[in-house]
Amino acid sequence: MKEEKFLFQRENYILFGVGLAFIILGFILMTGGGSDDPQIYNEELFNSRRIILSPLLIVVGFVIEVFAILRRPKS
């Protein structure tokens, strides 16, 4: 019987997981900061964690995902 080969190696799947973890962490850090009352303005909405860190983590996660797809296995 012919041995089946997977499309990606183990390293690729690990990189997929790391990239997905970065993306999920970025979205988790982006949540919150709002107010239940629309009359109350909460400055916490525009702190550096939600404006800088979260989008950066999400972009890094997507870059890792692309790298995981394009990475060739070692022969």
Q: How far does the chain reach from its first CA to its final CA, in angstroms?
A: 23
Does any domain span residue 55?
yes
Number of domains in the chain: 1
What is the pTM for the complete model shown? Answer: 0.83
How far apart (Å, rounded) are the C-alpha atoms in residues 37 and 20?
34
Does any domain span residue 56?
yes
Among 11-15, 45-49, 65-69, the range scoring the smallest mean pLDDT is 45-49
Does any domain span residue 5?
no
Is there a contact between 60 and 27 (Cβ–Cβ < 8 Å)? no
Does any domain span residue 52?
yes
Give me the torsion for CA of 20, 25, 30, 35, rounded to 10°: 120
Q: Is the pLDDT of residue 40 over 90?
A: no
Residue range of the domain that includes 58: 10-70
| pLDDT-based confidence at residue 20 (cuts at 50, 70, 90) | very high
Q: Is the pLDDT of residue 41 over 90?
A: no
Between 57 and 43, whose confidence is greater?
Answer: 57
* Mean pLDDT along residues 26-53: 86
